[in-house]
């Protein structure tokens, strides 16, 4: 199997790696999600104790952190997908260019 035929598989593997392939983005999503969880936990705790205004504030903070984590992740994923598609298109273009030059070379012989 030629190297040019393995590149799409490698890019597919990169896509499947997800956030584990980009440690910084993974940590940002993890930290935002972690604090969102604890804000929801505090909201439930304060709601149970009867401190409704503080519970609503903590719930709103948890919701905003969860939305921020999702928005960051979805934008990161869109950028990754765009990068992979662009790399794949460039690779296909290079491969086709090389094949056409090779065919022209063989025809000139």
Average pLDDT estimate for 37-65:
94
- The answer to whether the predicted template modeling score (pTM) of the entire model surpasses 0.85 is no
Q: Where are the domains of the chain?
A: 23-108
**Average confidence score pLDDT of the chain:** 86
Three-state DSSP at 5 gives helix
- Of the ranges 32-36, 91-95, 97-101, the best mean pLDDT one: 32-36
- Does the pLDDT at position 30 exceed 60? yes
Q: Give the mean model confidence (pLDDT) for residues 74-98.
A: 87
Distances in Å between the Cα of 80 and the Cα atoms of 10, 47, 84 are 14, 40, 6
Higher pLDDT, 57 or 83: 57
Count the alpha carbons within 13 Å of 29 in the hemisphere toward its beta carbon.
16
Band of residue 62 on the pLDDT scale cut at 50, 70, 90: very high
**What is the structure's pLDDT at 36?**
97
Q: Looking at residue 107, what is its pLDDT?
A: 85
């Amino acid at each position: 199997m030629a190297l040019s035929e393995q590149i799409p598989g490698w890019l597919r593997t990169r896509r499947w790696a997800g956030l584990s392939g980009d440690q910084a983005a993974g940590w940002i999503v993890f930290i935002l999600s972690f604090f969102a969880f604890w804000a929801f936990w505090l909201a439930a705790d304060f709601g149970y104790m009867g401190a409704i205004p503080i519970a609503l504030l903590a719930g709103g903070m948890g919701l905003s952190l969860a939305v921020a984590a999702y928005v960051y992740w979805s934008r990161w994923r869109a950028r990754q997908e765009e990068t992979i598609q662009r790399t794949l298109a460039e690779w296909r273009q290079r491969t086709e260019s090389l094949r056409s030059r090779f065919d022209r070379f063989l025809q000139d012989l």
